[in-house]
C-alpha cells in the first residue's frame, strides 16, 4: 500500500526502508550494462553544453552538490547553486549552459523562480523531479522523473537517494553525448554497482547499528558531520536531516574546513561523524584533529578503511564505487537521525516550523 504507514511507526521510517524499491524504479530500464551506457530518453541536444547549473533547495540542493562533484570529474564545469541565490550568484549564464532544476515536489517557489529566469534567457532546462506534471516538470524543456513514489515525511529520504542516482545517470549521459565531457574512468563498475545499489541498501538497513549509536550519543551539545567531495554533500545532507527531525544543533562541513573555524566549537560533547566512503585519507587527518580536542569520532566507512583504527564508533558500509558507497553512508545517517529523533520523542513526520513543499520565496 503506497499511502499508509504499513508496519512502520512513521512515514519517514517506511520511506527509508522503501529505498531498495524506489531506487530500483529510478534505475529500471535506464542502464544498459552490456554496452556500459545509460538510456535516459532525453530529446534535447546536449552535445554543446559547456557549463551545468544544478539548482535546488534543502535536500535537493545536496543532491545537486553531489551531481556537480561527479560532473566535474567528467570534465564539465558544473555548479550547484541554491535556488534562492540563483539571481545573485549565477551571473549571466552563457548560451551553452544547461540548467537542471532538482526538486522533489516540483513546486518549490525558489526553484521555480530560478527555472523561469533560465527559460527567459534561453538556456536548455531539465527538471529532475518526483512529481509527474508538477509545475517545474511542465515548465522545463524536459522532465526526468525519479519515480520514487509519494514521499509523505517532511524530511526527504528516498527522494534524495533517487535524485542522486538519477543525476549520476544524467552525468554519464552528458559524458557520452557531450563533446567536452568524458565518462568517469570506471564507468562499467559505476553502472554495475548502481544496479546493485538497491540490494546493498537492503543489506545496510538490515545490519545497521544506528539504533545503538543513537542511544549512546543522545545528549550532546552539537553534532558535526564531515566529508570530502561526494562525501561533503552526504555530510551536509546528514546534518540537515539531523537538525530537521531532532531539533539538535547539527552542521555539515567539508572535512578540510573544520580547522578553519568550526574546530573552535569542538569539545568532548560534539560528536563528529566522518564520512569516508572512498580511499582518501585526508578526512582521517581532519577527524583526528577533532579527536585531539576530545570529540568522539564516528566513522561512516567500509570496515577496512584506515579511519576505523582511529574512530570511537563505526557505521559500516559496503565497499562499492564511491557514488554508491556515499549513498549507503547517507542511509546510515538517515537511520541515525531517525532513531535519535524517536528517542527524543520528536514529531518525526511533521517537524515543527517546516513544510514538505515551500511555495513562497
For helices 158-177 and 58-73, give the axis angle rounded to 10 degrees: 30
If binding is defined by CB under 6 A, does position 354 make contact with ligand G6P?
yes
Comparing CB distances to ligand G6P, the nearer of 59 and 301 is 59
Comparing CB distances to ligand G6P, the nearer of 63 and 300 is 63
Q: For residues 52-71, which are near ligand G6P according to CB under 6 A? A: 56-60
**Sequence-distant (≥ 6) Cβ neighbours of residue 359 within 8 angstroms:** 107, 108, 109
- CB 196, min distance to ligand G6P, A: 26
**3-class secondary structure, 225:** strand
Q: For residues 99-138, which are near ligand G6P according to CB under 6 A? A: 103-105, 108, 111
If binding is defined by CB under 6 A, does position 357 make contact with ligand G6P?
yes
Q: Residue 233 and residue 230: Cα distance in Å, rounded?
A: 6
If binding is defined by CB under 6 A, does position 140 make contact with ligand G6P?
no
CB atoms within 10 A of CB 45: 10
- CB 190, min distance to ligand G6P, A: 25
Q: Residue 184 and residue 100: Cα distance in Å, rounded?
A: 20
Walk across the sheet containing 223-227 and list its strands. 250-254, 223-227, 272-276, 297-301, 313-316
- CB 108, min distance to ligand G6P, A: 3
Q: Residue 210 and residue 215: Cα distance in Å, rounded?
A: 9
Query: C-alpha angle 4/148/338, rounded to 5°?
Result: 60
Comparing CB distances to ligand G6P, the nearer of 106 and 318 is 106
Comparing CB distances to ligand G6P, the nearer of 52 and 131 is 131
- CB 346, min distance to ligand G6P, A: 15
Comparing CB distances to ligand G6P, the nearer of 44 and 357 is 357
**3-class secondary structure, 160:** helix
Comparing CB distances to ligand G6P, the nearer of 84 and 280 is 84
If binding is defined by CB under 6 A, does position 161 make contact with ligand G6P?
no
Stretch near ligand G6P under the rule CB under 6 A, chosen from 8-16, 37-45, 51-59, 295-303: 51-59
**3-class secondary structure, 273:** strand
If binding is defined by CB under 6 A, does position 358 make contact with ligand G6P?
yes
**3-class secondary structure, 125:** strand
β-pairing, 313-316 vs 97-103, is unpaired
Please give the residue ranges that form the binding site for ligand G6P (CB under 6 A).
56-60, 103-105, 108, 111, 154-156, 354-358
Amino acid at each position: 500500500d503506497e499511502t499508509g504507514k504499513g508496519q512502520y511507526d512513521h512515514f519517514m521510517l517506511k520511506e527509508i526502508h522503501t529505498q531498495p524499491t524506489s531506487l530500483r524504479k529510478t534505475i529500471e530500464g535506464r542502464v544498459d550494462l552490456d554496452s556500459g551506457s545509460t538510456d535516459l530518453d532525453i530529446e534535447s541536444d546536449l552535445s554543446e553544453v559547456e557549463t551545468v547549473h544544478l539548482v535546488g533547495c534543502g535536500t535537493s540542493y545536496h543532491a545537486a552538490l553531489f551531481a556537480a562533484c561527479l560532473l566535474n570529474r567528467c570534465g564539465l564545469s558544473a555548479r550547484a547553486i541554491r535556488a534562492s541565490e540563483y539571481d545573485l550568484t549565477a551571473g549571466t549564464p552563457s548560451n551553452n549552459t544547461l540548467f537542471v532544476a532538482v526538486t522533489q515536489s516540483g513546486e518549490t517557489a525558489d526553484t521555480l523562480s530560478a527555472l523561469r529566469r533560465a527559460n527567459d534567457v534561453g538556456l536548455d532546462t531539465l527538471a529532475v523531479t518526483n512529481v509527474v506534471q508538477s509545475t517545474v516538470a511542465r515548465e522545463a524543456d524536459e522532465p526526468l522523473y525519479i519515480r520514487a513514489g509519494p514521499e509523505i515525511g517532511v524530511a526527504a529520504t528516498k527522494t534524495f537517494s533517487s535524485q542522486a542516482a538519477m543525476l549520476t545517470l544524467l552525468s554519464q549521459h552528458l559524458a557520452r553525448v557531450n563533446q567536452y565531457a568524458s565518462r568517469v574512468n570506471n564507468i562499467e563498475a559505476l553502472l554495475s554497482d548502481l544496479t546493485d545499489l538497491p540490494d546493498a541498501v537492503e543489506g545496510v538497513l538490515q545490519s545497521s547499528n544506528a539504533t545503538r549509536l543513537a542511544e549512546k550519543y543522545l545528549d550532546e551539545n552539537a553534532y558535526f558531520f564531515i566529508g570530502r567531495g561526494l562525501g561533503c554533500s552526504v555530510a551536509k545532507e546528514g546534518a540537515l536531516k539531523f537538525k530537521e527531525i531532532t531539533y539538535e544543533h547539527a552542521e555539515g562541513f567539508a572535512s578540510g574546513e573544520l580547522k578553519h573555524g568550526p574546530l573552535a566549537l569542538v569539545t568532548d560533547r560534539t560528536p563528529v561523524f566522518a564520512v569516508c566512503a572512498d580511499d582518501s585519507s585526508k578526512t582521517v587527518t581532519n577527524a583526528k584533529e577533532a579527536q585531539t580536542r576530545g570529540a568522539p569520532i564516528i566513522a561512516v566507512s567500509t570496515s577496512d578503511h584506515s579511519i576505523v583504527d582511529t574512530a570511537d564508533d563505526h557505521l559500516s558500509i559496503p565497499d562499492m564505487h564511491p557514488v554508491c558507497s556515499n549513498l549507503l553512508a547517507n542511509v546510515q545517517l538517515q537511520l541515525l537521525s531517525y532513531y535519535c529523533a524517536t528517542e527524543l520523542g520528536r514529531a518525526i513526520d511533521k517537524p515543527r516550523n517546516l513544510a514538505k513543499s515551500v511555495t513562497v520565496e
